[in-house]
Every structure is written in C-alpha cells, then in structure tokens.
Amino acid sequence: MSTELLLGIITFFTSTIAGIVGLGGGMILIAVLPSFLPVNAIVPVHGLTQMSSNLSRAVFGWKDVKVEVIPKFLIGSILGVSFFATILYFISLTYVPLFIGLYILFSLWSDKFNKKIERFESYYLVGFLQSGLSLIVGATGPIATTLLVKDYNDKHVVVSTAAALKSITHTLKVITFIFFGFVFFDYLGILVAMIIGAVIGSWAGTKLRDKIDGKKFILVLKILLSLMAIKLIVSLFI
C-alpha cells in the first residue's frame, strides 16, 4: 500500500473521530506522522490537513456554528500568531503544556476556579492563546473546546463551533509556515490523499454524532478533555 493511500485512510479515521466528539483526531494523527514524514514536515502537513478537517466539519454543521464568537476569536488569533511568531526564538515555552493542562482540568471541574477566572475568560484571549501557541505546542485545540463546553450544552454547537475556531487556528498556522518558507507543493500527493480522507471523515463523523445522546456526549467530552490535559501534564515529566 502506498504512503499516500495509507495516510489518506488513517486521516479518514482520525477525522471521523473528531467529527463525532470534536477532538482527539488531530492528536492521534500527529502521533502517527513521524513514521511517514521528515521532522520538518510534520507540523506543516498536519496543520494543512487539520485545517481541511476542521473547515469541512464546520461546513457540514454550519447551522450549529455560533457565528458571534468567530470575530472575537479571529482578532485574538491574529494577534496571538503575530506575537508568538515574533518571540518564537527568544523565550522558553517548556512549561506551556503544564499550564494548558491545569487550566483545562480546573475549568472543567472546579466551580471555585471558574468564579475567579470568568472575568478574564473571553474568545479574544482564547484565540490569542490557542492560535499563537499552536505554532509551538501541538495540542491547543482543547482550549477553545473547554470554553465552548461551559457556554453551550448542545453537542452539535460545541463540535461545529470548535471546528470553525480550529480551522482559523490552522489556517493562520499554514500561512505562517508559508511565510517562513515551507514548500507544501513538495508533499502534494500526500496532502491530496490526506485532505480527501479528512473531508470524508468529517462527513462520516457528523452523521455518526446524531446517534449519541446529548448529555452523555458532554460528559464524555469533558472526560476526554481531562485525559488530554493529564497527558499534557504528564508528558513534561516522563
């Protein structure tokens, strides 16, 4: 089986997972890519593929996207990417995953923490952190998803709006890599196969999501977010 076909199939399954629960697919995919791509190509190829996956998922669920949060997130994202692209080579961001992980855990499960932080939480700040840090830290998608889970109880709203926001993050990431000189055309065959797999997977995941109970879905999503947060924290020390 060719590399292109195999990566297309893998991306289909990871995109289907993300289409059902709203996250997880990107983390699985980036864990697989080092077996197929050189180190310098992993994050750019992953970014373009995830842009396609999230954008298609948002399009398939466009009726459920909370459009009012997008301008705030976009402004924050542009500022975040500009800021972190500028300071990328001057500061150590070793412990950023630790703070992301702790924020997710406390935000999901601590009412006391939420009361203290709610005045600081906004989609401007979430966009700034999620998109800016995505240039360095792999798993920033849960930042926006965590806030959406708190603001909305509808599974379709959470997944579709998170997809719209993450598509902004990955689009800005791709533009940044182009600016820094990465040549996506060198991986055209792989990218075409992965993008096709991502779009079909988004469609399949959107259809399968209807079969999940709403309340159970939110609980499962909170548990998955918590596991991802714990993985971020533990990975710093192991």
Query: Can you give the pLDDT at residue 27?
Result: 76
**Pair of tokens at residue 106:** 């406390």
**Of the listed ranges 59-68, 152-161, 219-228, the one predicted with least confidence:** 219-228
Query: Can you give the pLDDT at residue 214?
Result: 66
**Cβ neighbours of residue 147 closer than 8 Å, sequence gap 6 or more:** 107, 121, 123, 126
Query: Can you give the pLDDT at residue 92?
Result: 66
Q: What is the mean pLDDT of residues 42-63?
A: 92
Q: What is the mean pLDDT of residues 92-120?
A: 76
Query: Can you give the pLDDT at residue 220?
Result: 80
Confidence of residue 142 (pLDDT cuts 50, 70, 90): confident
Distance (Å, rounded) from C-alpha 222 to C-alpha 205? 18
Q: What is the pTM of this model?
A: 0.82
Structure confidence by residue, pLDDT tens digits, 103-115 = 778 878 888 877 7
Confidence of residue 137 (pLDDT cuts 50, 70, 90): low
Closest CA to 236 of 44, 98, 68: 98
**Cβ neighbours of residue 3 closer than 8 Å, sequence gap 6 or more:** 36, 190
**109-141 CB burial, b ≥16 within 10 A, e <16:** eeeeeeeeeeeebebbbbbbbbbbbbbbbbbbb
**Pair of tokens at residue 1:** 């089986």
Q: Is the dihedral of CA 88, 83, 157, 113 positive or negative?
A: positive
Structure confidence by residue, pLDDT tens digits, 191-217 = 999 999 999 999 999 888 888 776 777
Q: Would the pLDDT of 98 be above 90?
A: no
Distance (Å, rounded) from C-alpha 18 to C-alpha 71? 23
Q: For residue 87, count other CB atoms closer than 10 A to its CB.
A: 10
Q: Would the pLDDT of 55 be above 90?
A: yes
Q: Using alpha carbons only, what angle is made at residue 44 by residues 60 and 54, rounded to the nearest 5 degrees?
A: 10
Q: Would the pLDDT of 171 be above 70?
A: yes
Query: Can you give the pLDDT at residue 81?
Result: 92
